[in-house]
């Protein structure tokens, strides 16, 4: 089995829920506290590839920084990538990755289905 990583924000209830599910499965996994240890641009590109997602789709539009700085702006996918690097809090969460695949685990219970696939 490939190593599992959860990209975790401890202040997020959905992220906490996904982490608890991983703990309950007994699976071996790593926790990436992406706010304290932000992803590099290459790491984020790789994660987006695993998610099969464009950067703009990973942006949390409910965050104050989005509303204050980016709401209504037309940015390219490359610019959204830069925004996510500059403001990791804008990254949708939680994300669970295993091997060459990843999901945004919302709701957290999708972790169970993901691990079984």
SS3 110: helix
What distances in angstroms separate CA 72 from CA 61, 69, 117, one per listed residue? 10, 9, 37
Q: How far is CA 86 from the centre of its chain?
A: 15
Residue 12 is among the residues annotated as catalytic for this protein? yes
Report the C-alpha gap between 72 and 17 in whole angstroms: 31
Q: Which residue out of 9, 12, 21, 101 is catalytically annotated?
A: 12
Which phi and psi angles does 82 have, rounded to 5°?
Answer: -60, -40
Residue positions annotated with a catalytic role: 12
């Amino acid at each position: 089995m490939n190593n599992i990583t959860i990209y975790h924000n401890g202040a997020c209830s959905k992220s906490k829920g996904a982490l608890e599910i991983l703990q309950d499965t007994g699976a071996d996994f790593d926790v990436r506290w992406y706010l304290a240890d932000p992803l590099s641009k290459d790491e984020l590109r790789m994660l987006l590839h695993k998610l099969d997602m464009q950067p703009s789709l990973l942006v949390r539009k409910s965050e104050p920084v989005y509303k204050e700085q980016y709401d209504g702006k037309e940015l390219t996918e490359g610019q959204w990538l830069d925004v996510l690097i500059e403001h990791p809090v804008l990254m949708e969460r939680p994300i669970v990755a295993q091997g060459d695949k990843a999901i945004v685990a919302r709701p957290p219970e999708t972790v169970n289905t993901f691990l079984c696939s």
